[in-house]
Every structure is written in C-alpha cells, then in structure tokens.
Amino acid sequence: MNFEGKVALITGASRGIGRGIAMEMCKRGADVVLVGRDRAALDETAQHCAGVRPGAVAHVITADVADQAAMESVVAETMERFGRVDYAIANAGQSIDSLLMRLAPKVLDQMLDVNLKSAFYLCAAVTKPMMKARAGSIVLVSSIVGLTGNGGQAAYAASKAGLLALAKSVAKELGSRNIRVNAVAPGLIETAMTEKLPDAAKEMLIKQSALGRAGTPEDVGGVVAFLCSDAAAYVTGQTIVVDGGVVMQ
C-alpha cells in the first residue's frame, strides 16, 4: 500500500472522516487534493498531512461539491497541477434529522445535493482522466444507515443508500477500463458530527458494536486506503462496513 507518486482527490476533507482519509493517504506517500467549502479547516487538514509525512503535498481547493461545474473545475485544476488523479474519494456529507411527516422539501433537496449528487458529479468528472490512464479507484463514503435505515433520518439514509447503488452501477460501467468503484459504510465514528448525539444514543450504539467502542476517522481511512491500493485490485462494486461489528452481512 505504497502510494508514492499517486494523487488522491478527497471531498469533504476539512475535518472528521475526510481529514482521517487525507492523512492516511499522505502517510502512504500520496499527494492529496483537499476539497470543501471551509478554507481555514482545509488548511488545518493540510497541516495535519504535513505532520504525518514531511514534504507531503496537500493542495487545497475551496468549492461547492454540490455544484457540477465546480467539481469539473476541481478535477481540471487537479490535472493541471499534478497531471493525474489516481484516487477519488467522495466523502462530503451532511446530516439533518427530521421525521418524515415534518421533512421540509429544502432539507430533502440539501441531503440529496450534498450526500448523493456531489458523488455523481465527482465520479463523472474523474471518469475521463481515469479512462485515459486506464486505471483508477473511486471510493464513496456512505453510512450503515444506508443499509439499515433509521427513524428520523429518512432523507439522510436514502441519500446514503443511493451511494451504494451508484458504486455498483459505475463499477459495472468502468470496470473494462480498469477503474474500480467501491463504497464504505461507517458506523459510529468519533467526529464533530457525532459529538452532537446524546450520550444515551452513543452508549446504545457502542453496546451494539461487537468491539464495544466507537470508531475513529483513522479506522475509516485505513479501509479507504486498502480499497485504493493494489491489494484490492480485484475488488469492485462492493460495500465495506466499518462499524465495529454492528451490521454483519
């Protein structure tokens, strides 16, 4: 799992799981392109990347991942700067909880735009350079609620479930060009997003886990790195659950 000379583009890289993925890819030798809307937070991620590997190149691009033209521009800038994009990780995501009967249309649109459409736009934008190179790995970051559903999270769960079907479909479209597409479905991961959960809810999720603990962004980063690596050269169209043993398929 040596990524020296490779380039990884990561959306939602400003904090949490995205930052953990960026640091893991940097640690293994890759240059990274960090994409998101919060420039200050992206710069912090870049600093963390430099901390895990002196000399690591972490290029920051501020963009709205839910804007198709913006994502095309991000990939164009990546190609201009590095001349390649080997790995694309669609990690951008947002959770707004609401009971279905109270779900506002604008909330549904936001969940689909940020969690699902952004991944469509990233996949479409990186397809051309990856097809030309006849190589590449795309990883979509979903959630276990995309597999199980969850009360009060219909919009979030539906958007995350869509990523699983997207990974399978694009894997079938691009497999003949040696481009692999997979998804990861994290469970309870210690991030700023999950800090907002009530303690009782966290304790319940931890008790459901066979490992008896919450995960870390590094736990997810390691699985993403595996899926990008040659060690997973015969793995595509799959969903890897990273939840400590809550959902066992």
Q: Tokens 């603990």, residue?
A: 213
Place of tokens 């479909």: 169
Q: How many CB atoms neighbour CB 189 within 10 A?
A: 21
Q: Quick check: is 156 catalytic? A: yes
Please tell me the distance from the alpha carbon of residue 51 to that of residue 33, in angstroms, as a whole number.
Answer: 16
User: Cα separation of 232 and 235, whole Å?
Assistant: 5
Q: Which among 156, 247, 148 has a CA at the least distance from the CA of 194?
A: 156
Residue 106 CB coordination number (10 Å)? 9
CA max distance for the chain: 52
CA distance 66 to 189: 24
* Phi, psi dihedrals of residue 195, rounded to the nearest 5°: -60, -25
Nearest by Cα to 12 from 65, 52, 60: 65
Strands of the 87-90 sheet, one edge to the other: 58-62, 31-36, 7-11, 87-90, 136-141, 179-186, 239-242
- Residues with a known catalytic role: 156
